[in-house]
Amino acid sequence: MYNLSNEIKKISEKNPNEPEFLNAVKEVLDSVAPVLEDSKYEKESIIERITEPDRQIAFRVSWIDDSGKIRVNRGYRVQFNNALGPYKGGLRFHPSVNMSIIKFLAFEQIFKNALTGLPLGGGKGGSDFDPKGKSDAEIMRFCQSFMTELSKYIGADKDVPAGDIGVGEREIGYMFGQYKRLRDTYEGALTGKSVVYGGSLIRKQATGYGLVYFTQNVLNHHGDDISGKKVCVSGAGNVAIHAAEKAQQLGCKVLTLSDSKGWIYDSEGIDLKVVKDIKEVMRKDLSLYKESRPNAEYHSGKFKWTIPCEVALPCATQNEVDAESVQNLINNGCKIICEGANMPLTAEALKIVLNADILYAPGKASNAGGVAVSGLEMSQNSMRLKWSSEEVDEKLKGIMKGIFDNISEAAAEYGEPNNYLMGANICGFKRVAEAIMKQGAV
Max CA pair span of the chain: 64
Cβ atoms within 10 A of the Cβ of 385, count? 8
d(CA 255, CA 296): 10
Q: Which residue lies nearest ligand NDP, judged by its C-beta?
A: 237
Give the span between the Cα atoms of 48 and 7, in whole angstroms.
8
State the Rg of the chain over Cα: 21
Q: For residue 380, give the amino acid letter.
A: Q
Stretch that binds ligand NDP, among 43-51, 212-220, 313-321, 392-400 (CB under 6 A): 313-321
235 binds ligand NDP (CB under 6 A): yes
Q: How far is the CB of 371 from ligand NDP (least distance, A)?
A: 6
CB of 74 to ligand NDP, least distance (A): 19
Interface with ligand NDP includes 376 (CB under 6 A)?
A: no
Q: Name which of residues 157 to 196 contact ligand NDP (CB under 6 A).
A: 163-166
Binding test (CB under 6 A) with ligand NDP, winner from 84, 172, 236, 329: 236
Show Cβ contacts of residue 440 under 8 Å, excluding neighbours closer than 6 positions.
Answer: none
Residue from the set 122, 199, 237, 362 that interacts with ligand NDP by CB under 6 A: 237
125 touching ligand NDP, by CB under 6 A = no
Examine residue 342 and tell whether it contacts ligand NDP (CB under 6 A): yes
Cβ count within 10 A of residue 110: 29
Looking at the Cβ atoms of 147 and 241, the one nearer to ligand NDP is: 241
124 has catalytic annotation: yes
Closest contact distance (angstroms) between CB of 326 and ligand NDP is 16
Q: In this structure, are residues 204 and 196 in contact, taking their beta carbons and an 8 Å threshold?
A: no
Q: Is 113 in the site for ligand NDP (CB under 6 A)?
A: no
Report helix, strand or coil for 42.
Answer: helix
Strand partners, 78: 56, 124
* Distance in angstroms (rounded) separating the CA atoms of residues 121 and 134: 33
Instruction: State yes or no: residue 239 binds ligand NDP (CB under 6 A).
Output: yes
| Residue from 88, 103, 112, 124 carrying the catalytic annotation | 124
Q: How far is the CB of 237 from ligand NDP (least distance, A)?
A: 2
Whole-number minimum distance, CB 185 to ligand NDP, in Å? 25
Shortest gap between Cβ of 316 and ligand NDP (angstroms)?
Answer: 3
Which is nearer to ligand NDP, 112 or 229 (by Cβ)? 112
Cα 314 from Cα 128, distance rounded (Å): 23
One of 51, 79, 207, 256 touching ligand NDP (CB under 6 A): 207
- Residue 380 found at the interface with ligand NDP (CB under 6 A): no
- If one asks whether residue 370 binds ligand NDP (CB under 6 A), the answer comes out as yes
**269 CB-contact burial (10 Å; exposed 0-12 / middle 13-18 / buried 19+):** middle
How many residues contact ligand NDP, by CB under 6 A? 25
Quick one: 23 or 148, whose CB is closer to ligand NDP? 23
Say if CB 232 and CB 359 are below 8 A apart. Answer: no
Q: Which residues contact 95 (CB under 8 A, 6 or more apart)?
A: 128, 129, 130
If you count them, how many residues does the chain have? Answer: 442
Rounded Cα distance between 249 and 246, Å, is: 5
Query: Under the rule (CB under 6 A), what is the footprint of ligand NDP?
Result: 163-166, 207, 235-240, 259-261, 279, 285, 315-317, 320, 340-342, 367, 370
Task: Provide the annotated active-site residues.
Answer: 124
